[in-house]
């Protein structure tokens, strides 16, 4: 059993959250529309998730963290998403988010995009996750569906996870065009919540689509650093950054402030 700390977020109404984000995003994007809508059917394109929605007993889990990469990797920190669902008291949860790939299975380090319907007493688990890694041949970025070659439900080192019953329901729809400020989309939403709610931590998770343009994103090297990484700055220098073209399906998980549990703030 993992050591697990539990706490409650401040939970505003969806309408209030929509108004807060509408105001905050206007400072960073030319066009913004935030509204409360019915969750689209996520089993359909472009999502193709194993569940229809992201509603029902929602919760956020931060597993591990960047300190497990510092100064050298702690290769004992490996996890199983089915066990994590039980640890957060939601067996059978639908889990999405961002983290480090299961090097214990792959044999190398990677970025992990978990999209998993975890096991329950009524149904087997479904793994629709992806992982991205650096091509050793040319240094390019490769993306692969995890279940094409692997059948476990592992991850490693760190993960920012959003869990729910995977049910349809009301969600917040955010549309933004033409970035005018310095903040990326997720950081802008997180800071909007932080500015409004102050010391009341608010957490959000879900999915969005980048329909046009490019995104700058990092990929961890396939080999863990043999030189000690002693600061966040050194970790960032170790990462490789790429421009990725739309369309992209993203899986953000973020909190407005650290509630004293050393949470990282956001994962994408």
Q: What is the pTM of this model?
A: 0.94
261 has pLDDT over 60: no
Q: What is the pLDDT of residues 211-228, one digit of tens each?
A: 999 999 999 999 999 999
Residue 253 sits at φ, ψ, to 5 deg, of: -140, 125
| 167-175 average pLDDT score | 98
Q: What pLDDT shows up at residue 262? A: 54
| Residue that is written with structure tokens 């190398």 in the block | 108
The C-alpha atoms of residue 40 and residue 109 are separated, in whole angstroms, by 33
What is the band of 263 on the pLDDT scale with cuts at 50, 70, 90?
low
Cα 9 to its chain centre, rounded Å, is 18
The C-alpha atoms of residue 35 and residue 232 are separated, in whole angstroms, by 36
Residue 179 sits at φ, ψ, to 5 deg, of: -65, 130
Q: What pLDDT shows up at residue 255? A: 96
| 170-199 average pLDDT score | 96
Q: What pLDDT shows up at residue 4? A: 84
What is the band of 264 on the pLDDT scale with cuts at 50, 70, 90?
low
What is the band of 265 on the pLDDT scale with cuts at 50, 70, 90?
low
Q: What pLDDT shows up at residue 217? A: 95
Q: Which residues contact 42 (CB under 8 A, 6 or more apart)?
A: 48, 49, 51, 52, 53, 54, 207
Q: What pLDDT shows up at residue 258? A: 83
Q: What pLDDT shows up at residue 178? A: 94
Cα 5 to Cα 80, 116, 159, 253: the distances in Å are 18, 23, 15, 18
The C-alpha atoms of residue 218 and residue 6 are separated, in whole angstroms, by 30
Percent of the chain with pLDDT over 90: 93
Q: What pLDDT shows up at residue 136? A: 93
123 has pLDDT over 80: yes
What is the band of 268 on the pLDDT scale with cuts at 50, 70, 90?
low
Beta bridge partners of 255: 203
Q: What pLDDT shows up at residue 5? A: 86
The two three-digit tokens of residue 79, written as one number: 């996890």
201 has pLDDT over 90: yes
| 252-268 average pLDDT score | 73
Q: Which residues contact 110 (CB under 8 A, 6 or more apart)?
A: 100, 101, 103, 131, 132, 133, 219, 220, 222
| 80-94 average pLDDT score | 97
Percent of the chain with pLDDT over 70: 96
Q: What pLDDT shows up at residue 89? A: 96
> Rounded mean pLDDT of the chain?
95
185 has pLDDT over 60: yes
């Amino acid at each position: 059993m993992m050591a697990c700390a539990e706490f409650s977020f401040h939970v505003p109404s969806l309408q209030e959250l929509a108004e807060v984000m509408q105001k905050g995003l206007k400072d960073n994007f030319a066009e913004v529309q935030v509204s409360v809508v019915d969750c689209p059917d996520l089993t359909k394109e472009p999502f193709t998730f194993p569940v229809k929605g992201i509603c029902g007993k929602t919760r956020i889990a931060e597993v591990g963290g960047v300190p497990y990469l510092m100064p050298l990797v702690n290769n004992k920190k490996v996890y199983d998403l089915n066990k994590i669902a039980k640890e957060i008291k939601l067996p059978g949860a639908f889990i999405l988010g961002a983290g480090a790939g299961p090097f214990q299975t792959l044999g190398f380090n990677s970025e992990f995009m978990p999209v998993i319907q975890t096991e329950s007493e009524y149904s087997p688990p479904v793994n629709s996750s992806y992982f991205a890694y650096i091509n050793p041949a040319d240094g390019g970025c490769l993306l692969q569906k995890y279940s094409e070659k692997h059948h476990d439900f592992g991850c490693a080192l760190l993960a920012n996870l959003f869990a729910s019953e995977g049910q349809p329901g009301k969600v917040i729809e955010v549309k933004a065009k033409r970035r005018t400020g310095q903040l990326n989309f997720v950081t802008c939403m997180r800071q909007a919540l932080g500015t409004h709610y102050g010391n009341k931590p608010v957490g959000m998770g879900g999915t969005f689509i980048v329909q046009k343009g490019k995104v700058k994103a990092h990929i961890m090297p396939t080999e863990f650093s043999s030189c000690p990484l002693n600061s966040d700055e050194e970790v960032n220098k170790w990462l490789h950054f790429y421009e990725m073209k739309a369309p992209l399906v993203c899986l953000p998980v973020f909190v407005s402030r650290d509630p004293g549990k050393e949470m990282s703030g956001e994962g994408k």
